[in-house]
Structure 1
Amino acid sequence: MLLRLRRRLTHVLITGLAICAIMLIVMTLCPTKQEGCNLQHPSDDDIGVNIIQERKESVLFSTNLLVVVISAPSHEHVRNVIRETWAKNPPVEVRTLFVIGVKNLAGDVFEKLVHEKRRYSDMLFLENLEESYSALTRKIIETFKFVCEKVHFKFLLKVDEDSYVRVDKISYELLSKPQQRLYWGFFDGRAHVKKAGKWEERDYVLCDRYLPYALGGGYVISSDLVEYVAKNSEILKLYQSEDVSLGTWLGPLDVHRVHDPNFDTEYKSRGCFNSYLVTHKKSPEQMKVLYDNLQSHGKLCDVETRTRLSYQYKWDLPPSQCCERKDPTIP
């Protein structure tokens, strides 16, 4: 009797150990669920396609080039001109979103925006952001966080709503650009930190000049850099100027900084050149003229004009010597 009981206990013990071993193996082999914005790096068979690993039902759309236009709630007329000019009939691999902070908006203003959004389906509302110039850097952060979670994209082009964009040419040129860690625009590295006025930076203590940054009228960054900013947003220092902020955030990273004079994105335009990919400080009327020029004779400008010299960035020199305007052949 005692021997039979011992055999039963031994059998139960062996069976229990076997079940535990099987459970341990299953737990080891089954991957745990990963949350957050996780961009896949490209494979040899899929050249440079970064895809955000989110559940399919949470993704709004997929695109190669995502254009985000920083817009103001009351500027429906400007948005409509953009819709009727450079954002009209884009390449299939390009999508445009107008980004607007809607926190504390008057009810009638918000309802009008909702109607516009339903009509065009090209607007991103940031519900936790109240519009102001001082909130512009936060607006960029919140935009990056949203698109990182909700959009499959490979590159992001940020532009102001007074910029005219050649989305077709940018999309084509991206084929020959670095597919990861790309930071492409018109760079400045010798700008002194502003101590007064609209762009005053009270807390910029890193240097007496800003770290090299692409000017905010328009720049392109790859999705992995958007992910970097989005994931580290809680510990990034926000400066008054969003373009200065991005250049500072990316400063210590091993990124491909591509300076391109065809980004006419400074605080005032350098003129009109047919090679421009982005040209800043354009009124709605000027946008219509540029669009009509392209439609009628395939060129931006009736006559190419220059209002100030450009430069090629000299990366082999100290930033204070990077950007001399001497060569009249540079657009």
Structure 2
Amino acid sequence: MSSGRFVDLIVGVCSAGDYVDRRRAIRKSWFLYARSHVSPIPEEDASRIAMKFIVSQGHPKAEKEQERHNDIAFVDAPEGYGNLWRKVLLFLYWVEMTYEYRYFMHADDDSFVRLDLILQKMIQWPSERFYWGYIWNMGPGRPFTQPIRDPRNKSHMPPEQYPLDYYPPFASGCGFALSRDLCRALLARALPDYRLLDAPFGIHLCGLEMCVLEAPVVPVHDEGVRPYRAIPLFHADTVVQHYMRPEEMKPFFDNAIEAAARPLDGPTHGQTAADDLYKQLVDLGLLRR
């Protein structure tokens, strides 16, 4: 067990070493929730959030960034999309040695995270057996996701890594959270390598065949996590927005700060009509959230 700094939440952001522009955009936007006087998060609460980029070793540009910002955790894993699962597990090992923490959250470096809304939700989160995010394969009418076997597809899963025909429920990798006991359960086993990040968490926490727990976890689905680009992009109730371009991060942050200062039942940045249209299109199945 670590005897290090206590935090309520440790956020790990997977990032490729060369993606300097993405890390810069995040530092100038949602990382400011824990570092800026404009943040709606009280200073005492902000002090209990830790945020780190997860980067593979051997990147001089990232090493220079670390000298200046001290917000990168370097892990001994190869670069590339097919190694994200290993990167995150190694990061969790490092977190266990460095922090006392309650929850771990993963985010992509093209995701925006409303940390102010996350902290509000955390008040209601259980301390154990908690797996939260946008959950695939869960809920009435939702089809089960089959592993993609075509090696030309970015999201393909080789049968030698996962031979079953369907995935159990799992959270989108763009932004999900785990209670510490689940992180420890994953680290306590010698788990196989996977070339995908998100599905293995469901495989080992929610599935019957390969679960590391005595009983599978029922994950918590949150529509506020948006794995697709929304129309319009900003919504006041968005908790995680995926597929953000670097130049969109700061304007999104400014909108989020403005939204946080308004009553929940107040107008949403002049977008009421657009929000209503968007909801109607989602309800009709013409758009995804």
If the length of structure 1 is used for normalisation, what is the TM-score?
0.69
Contact 1:270 1:309 in 2 (8 A): no
**How many Å separate the matches in 2 of 1:86 and 1:213?**
25
Partner-residue secondary structure (3-state), 1:63 = strand
**Contact persistence 1:191–1:209 (CA under 8 A):** yes
**Highest RCO, 1 vs 2 (Cα 8 Å, sep ≥ 6):** 2
Matched ranges for 1:139-218 at <5 A? 139-189=87-137, 190-196=144-150, 197-203=153-159, 205-218=162-175
CA distance, structure 1, for counterparts of residue 178 and residue 242 of structure 2: 18
Distance, in Å, in 2 between the alignment partners of 1:308 and 1:70 is 34
2:72 aligns with 123
Q: Secondary structure, in 3 states, of the residue corresponding to 1:281?
A: coil
Q: Is the 2:52–2:71 contact (alpha carbons within 8 Å) kept by the matching residues of 1?
A: yes
**Distance in 2, Cα, partners of 1:163 & 1:302:** 24
* Alpha carbons 1:101, 1:131 under 8 Å: kept: yes
- Between 1:166-175 and 1:155-164, the stretch displaced more is 166-175
Q: Give the distance between the partners of 2:258 and 2:222, measured in 1 at CA.
A: 27
Query: How many residues matched?
Result: 250
Of 129, 133, 151, the residue aligned with 2:81 is 133
SS at match of 2:194: coil
Aligned equivalents of 1:297 and 1:178: distance in 2? 27
> 2:237 is matched with which residue?
275
The answer on whether the counterparts of 2:259 and 2:269 sit within 8 Å (CA) in structure 1 is no
**Aligned residue identity for 1:129:** A
1:231–1:290 CA distance, 2 compared to 1 (3 A):
same
| RMSD, matched Cα | 2.5
Give the whole-Å Cα distance in 2 for the aligned partners of 1:67 and 1:172. Answer: 16
Structure whose CA Rg is larger: 1
**In the alignment, which of 220, 238, 250 is matched to residue 177 of structure 2?**
220
* Alignment of 1:98 onto 2:60: no
What's the CA shift string for 1:261-314, capped at 9, x where partnerless?
A: 01112xx3243421111010000111122112234454886625539966xxxx
User: Is contact 2:236-2:259 (8 Å) kept?
Assistant: no
Q: Are the structure 2 counterparts of residues 280 and 237 from structure 1 closer, same or farther at C-alpha, using a change threshold of 3 Å? A: same
Identity %: 24
SS in 2 for 1:144: helix
| CA displacement, residues 6-49 of structure 1 (integer Å, 9 cap, x when unaligned) | xxxxxxxxxxxxxxxxxxxxxxxxxxxxxxxxxxxxxxxxxxxx
- Given that 1:63 and 1:154 are in contact with CA atoms closer than 8 Å, whether structure 2 keeps it comes out as yes
Letter in 2 for 1:198: K
The DSSP-based 3-state class of the residue aligned with 1:154 is strand
1:122 to partner: Cα distance = 1.0
Partners of 1:309 and 1:131 lie apart in 2 by: 39
1:231 aligns with 2:180: no
Q: Please tell me the residue identity of whatever aligns with 2:87.
A: K
Aligned match of 1:242 in 197, 210, 219? 197
What is the aligned counterpart of 1:284 among 246, 253, 256? 246
Note the C-alpha offset of 1:147: 0.9
User: Residue 237 of structure 1: CA displacement?
Assistant: 2.8
How far does residue 327 in structure 1 lie from its aligned partner after superposition? Answer: 7.5
> 2:149–2:157: 8 Å Cα contact kept in structure 1?
yes
Q: Which runs of structure 2 are paired with 1:63-102 in the superposition (5 Å)?
A: 63-90=7-34, 91-102=46-57
Provide the secondary structure at the position in 1 that maps to 2:73.
strand
CA gap 1:222/1:72 in 2 versus in 1, 3 angstroms: same
Show structure 2 runs of 5+ residues with no match: 35-45, 138-143, 263-267
Deviation at 1:176?
A: 0.6
Cα distance in 2 for residues equivalent to 1:118 and 1:170: 29
Query: SS in structure 1 opposite 2:47?
Result: coil
Q: Is the 8 A contact 1:144 1:229 kept in 2?
A: no
- Residue 80 of structure 1 aligns with an amino acid whose one-letter code is R
CA contact (8 A) 2:7 2:100 kept: yes
Alignment partners' CA distance in 2, 1:258 and 1:295: 26
What letter corresponds to residue 249 of structure 2 in structure 1? M
Code of the residue aligned with 1:191 in structure 2: it is T
Cα distance change on mapping 1:136 and 1:163 into 2, 3 Å: same
- AA partner of residue 260 (structure 1): D
Unpaired runs of at least 5, structure 1: 1-52, 311-324
